[in-house]
Amino acid sequence: MLSRQIAQKLRGYETPFYLYDTALLRQTLESVVYESKKYGYKVHYAIKANYDDHLLAIIREYGLGIDCASGNELRKAIEAGFDPKGIVYAGVGKRDKELRYAIEQDILAINCESIEELELVDALAGEAGRVADVALRINPDIDPKTNHCIDTGQADSKFGISYEEVLEHAKEIRALKYINIIGLHLHIGSQIRELHVFENMCNKVNVIVENLEKLGCSFRFVDVGGGLGVNYDVPENEPIPNFASLFSIVHNHLSVGDREVHFEFGRSIVAECGELITKVLFNKTTATGRKLVIVDASMTELIRPALYGSYHNIENITSEDEARDKYTIVGTACESTDVFDENVTLRKTRRGDLLTIKSAGAYGMSMASRYNLHDLPGAVYSDEIQ
């Protein structure tokens, strides 16, 4: 929990805003870099999780590459100073102009997610007089045991090319002259807490790699994506995710010879270093006796609870009252689903109190909107609080 002294200093900032613990971010980066180096693994930061300039500058210090999912994310990464040769670009629906930009920037790999995309990249690279490095994003058909809204690796998912389709079109793929298939990519989902799922993934990858080798594919890296979850329930118990266990599982179960192994982490790097600070506007009780706390944040600042039904730990950081009560925390948006928590126990909460919504560093600000013409939230960094 934030210290009382820091909580009082936060009253000087206009709410709602994101508060980022830059010291925790650095500790997390130190952990992922240290653990990955044991096995020679390459790590890319999934910029979709949070593209805050201050955070990106810190992440770049630690030598991570970038995983992009749009042309603008790619442009953002390059403008932030990341080496194009450390950038991979995924996404099921890349526009022609985005692909042209990726080819022009000579990034590490365009992760192609359909046969038609492979053909388009080949045509665009040919027009540019180049050969584009690409990776095949394979749909491995694995249940990641996570929220179905963030499951990306089962057979009916929109993401990736089915393994069977790659085999069916192997001859046509090999005939493409202006692409160089240098990698194999997959991503089974996000917020995965049952690590045995990654064993299943490795076993499936081993089979895919073996069979693609028989077809003459000589790609140099395997990108197994990310998906490592965080502890939204009790974040203080696990402020830094268990990268060591994940890397150990992959090391013990993945058999890809001397190929590089790449990972893409977003949530696990930035989720716990960010929280949304919001002010209580009003209290009221419904006709059924439900106690509502109306705060000045809403689904426009943090959409995850409304979109996925996601849980975030909430605390009153300024109340000094020892008495506690149960509340429903709601936002200002004109939507009935704009609810942060239906039944949370807090210190007695009054107008003007500050609440923190924890573990909001990932997919918070990056998914914010201006619905109802709300202003976008600001950002405050722990290393700048006076």
List, by residue number, the catalytic residues: 334
> Could you tell me if 134 and 179 are in contact, meaning their C-beta atoms sit under 8 angstroms apart?
yes
CB atoms within 10 A of CB 339: 17
> Could you tell me if 147 and 308 are in contact, meaning their C-beta atoms sit under 8 angstroms apart?
yes
Report the first-to-last Cα separation within the chain, whole angstroms: 18
**How many angstroms separate the CA atoms of 358 and 272, rounded?**
7
Q: Is 184 helix (H, G, I), strand (E, B) or coil?
A: strand
> Could you tell me if 367 and 303 are in contact, meaning their C-beta atoms sit under 8 angstroms apart?
yes
Q: Is 341 helix (H, G, I), strand (E, B) or coil?
A: strand
Instruction: Fill in the amino acid letter for 119.
Output: E
Rg over alpha carbons for the chain, rounded to the nearest Å, is 22
**How many angstroms separate the CA atoms of 147 and 270, rounded?**
19
Residue 366 contacts by C-beta under 8 Å, 6 or more apart in sequence?
A: 48, 49, 50, 51
